Chain A
């Protein structure tokens, strides 16, 4: 490796000064091996983050509360000696409503200009992907690289949309004024590019949609109406 490990990862983590980052960037551009390593580590971090983010997004168990005094905690702790908070079944039910998949080694997340950005510990659509999710209708596809598939409401009522671009497909759902990623799947080896668009939905994405959807997908008129309301 032509770049020391520490420096390479500091670059990956956005910790270098612009000048230093430009030097590493140039090395990575020259070396397919470095580029591949960068891609693998970005994918690994995304997967790690998405897995643990499910914890931050789940409701906090009732037994953990800071607005009681310490005495209450001690009492709760004693009470808990008899049985832990919640049951595995409760957790399973909660978890079953969430399905997130991401394949290590296949997700490409360029830091500055990529279709995905991390903010506040969550993954959001950015750039061309965000624009497509905001403005495109499945019934009237635009000319950009991203194609919108299904639009539907999930079990919490949020609007969700599937999308496909030449490298990947995925699911994003409305969270406030942004599109939060629920899953991102790379095109299978050898199947990226325009040919894939003619094929059916990635089976992993289909499974994710199945586990998220409430009712039927929106039809063209409903999709249009949802867009007019800002995807609320």
Chain B
């Protein structure tokens, strides 16, 4: 990240990654884009709280994660009402029948959606976003043991859902 860039430009450069993270947390692309937009708005409003010289990506990811947690209650209510049998079928479907990236993305989103929130965020940050364990501990304010045990449970569960053979 180029520190001579404006805050807005640096945030703009992060957008593809933020959208990816939002997709790992959200139940569909529309929700993910809403979450990304809300994160951008919050980041712009909170610009003064960011300390230049520190990592903007961790800071922005943290904002997104907190916004996502804030909506957890309404989200789980919505999920109870709207979770469909098709979604469950989608998760268990044989990936060999569909080579389309969009479909595999849907399938992976459906699988992530079925992880408990605290496992999903750790799996997303480490396995998809590529953060190190220590960075995730700092981002989530969690001790190392908690992060690594959630990661173990989350990835085992994910493998049971999407893995085969």
Contacts and interface: CB of A to CB of B under 8 A. Distances in A.
A binds B: yes
Interface residues of B, number: 52
A204 B126 CA distance: 29
Contacts of A53: 20
Interface in A124-172: none
A48 interface: yes
Contact of B23 (A15, A55, A57, A204): A55
A75 B104 CA distance: 34
Given A53-B20, A63-B37, A48 B128 contact: yes
B5 to A, nearest CB: 11
B20 to A, nearest CB: 4
A128 to B, nearest CB: 24
Interface in B111-165: 126-130, 132-133, 145, 148-149, 151-152, 155-156, 158-159, 162-165
B108 A48 contact: yes
A63 B15 CA distance: 12
B96 interface: yes
A105 B163 contact: yes
Given A63-B33, A73-B37, A101-B95, A45 B20 contact: no
A44 B19 contact: no
A49 interface: yes
A73 B133 CA distance: 34
Nearest to B98: A101
Contacts of A65: 12, 40
Interface stretch (B41-49, B70-78, B79-87): B41-49
B93 interface: no
Nearest to A101: B99
A124 to B, nearest CB: 13
B133 A47 contact: no
Nearest to B105: A51
A35 B134 CA distance: 26
B16 A52 contact: no
Contacts of A47: 95, 104, 108, 162
B148 A56 contact: no
A99 B152 contact: no
Contacts of B11: 66
A66 B148 contact: no
B130 A48 contact: no
Given A6-B148, A66-B12, A85-B33, A73 B163 contact: no
Nearest to A5: B152
Given A44-B163, A47-B162, 4 more contacts: A49-B127, A95-B105, A104-B163, A106-B165
